Amino acid sequence: MKKTIALILGIIFLFSSIYAQNYQEMHIAQPYPWQHTEGARDIYGFNIAFLPYYFGFFMMMAYFTAVGMDTYGWVTRDWETISEWEFTYDGENIVEASWTLDYFTQYYINDYQDGKLVSTLVQNDLLGYMMDVELYEYYYSGDMLTGWQSQMTDYMGGWLYDEKGTYTYTGDNMTEYLVQNWNDLSQSWENDEYYTCTYSGDHLIEHILQLWSGSWYYYEKSEYIYVGDHNTEILSYEWDGANWEYYFHETMYYDNDFVVNILIEEWTGGNWVNFEYITNTPYGDYAIDESIIQEWDGIQWKNIMKLDYLYDTANDDNQLPLTDLQLRNFPNPFNPSTNIQWQQPLVGSARIEIFNLKGELINTFSGNEFPCGENSITWDGKDMQHNQQPSGTYLYRISMGDVTQTKKMVMLK
């Protein structure tokens, strides 16, 4: 579920931040197509504040395992290329990316440690002149991202502090996020944005954004509506000084677990009015082949942008390879809980079921969003009704499509 939400929000954010470059009413220049600014915030009720700019973008591309992405603008009667992306992988990690726009190319060099993205170096290539311009560093507690910090070049070989973000969690859920800017005059970090998030289980159901101007004041709020595990609607509000007022309404339409269409409506004159419409074409079972973005002109939908995702068909990851899933649990024997681990060969769904020796199903864990690589869930020794189970031997089974593996574990008390 978390992967599905991240994918939806990542798509919405990417579109919104690209659009912010093209709308005169935004009044804010964006040096990078996904950069989080007030301009991007003014188009949609939600921005990708839950992930730093480059981190979120690269995670979304790695989710698709895309090797490239071409952006087109609609000019009169045909698509014309705006920019091109290329991605280089080491395993499932993007180690280098490039964004080309006419005579200008920007490179992103990613460094990983123990499988985690720890830094992104941004370089500009302007007519053959290469220059370091920005550095992002990411911080973790265990496997959990806890913060990031960016620095800008001083054009003399050094770096200047720019921004930083800090995350606070309750369990696995990010509940608070603070963004601060560096003040060169006071030589200190100053508050900028503060997000609070509310969950129902693992489902994000509300986030509120406050901005800093000597004290915190409300700015935006978004509410998330679900049908089962699918986030089907996002209602966004603006604070008018006394009340929350409607801002945008986003509706996601699914084909199984794939988001086929996104309808975005704007609150105008007391009514919801068409704003933008996004159509996604699938590639394989989970990736996107093409996204077309249309704008409502008051009468009909008009093309404004298209994204084509490119894949290495020689290493097509849309079929599950037959492989050892390395299913195991630790500790074993255990009391009162154990961690069940496995290797996920591809991004996608998996089901873990726990049985007693009578063959009775005790508990089940499933999801459509497990990332490629090492994954784990924790069984607390209880059934689906949260009843503690007795000591003894249990079977645990993982299923991915036609591939299944079963192991034994022992609970002692």
Q: C-alpha angle with apex 20: 15 to 25, nearest 5 degrees? A: 140
Among 43-57, 148-162, 183-197, 332-346, the least confident range: 43-57
Question: What's the pLDDT score for residue 29?
Answer: 28
Share of the chain above pLDDT 70, in %: 77
Q: What pLDDT, in 10s, does the model give residues 199-229? A: 998 888 999 999 999 999 999 999 999 998 8
How do strand 392-400 and strand 348-356 relate by DSSP bridges?
antiparallel
**What is the reported pTM?**
0.65
Residues 239-264: what's their mean pLDDT? 92
CATH of span 328-411:
2.60.40.4070
| 15-22, long-range: CB < 8 A, 24+ apart | 15/276, 15/278, 15/291, 15/293, 15/305, 16/40, 16/43, 16/44, 16/47, 17/47, 18/71, 18/305, 19/43, 19/293, 19/305
Domain residues of the chain, as ranges? 2-315, 328-411
Tell me: pLDDT of 159 over 90.
yes
Question: What's the pLDDT score for residue 94?
Answer: 83
Residues 363-392: what's their mean pLDDT? 83
Summary mean pLDDT of the chain:
78
Tell me: pLDDT of 54 over 80.
no
Class of CATH domain 2-315? mainly beta
Question: Smallest Cα–Cα separation from 134: which of 118, 146, 117, 119?
Answer: 119
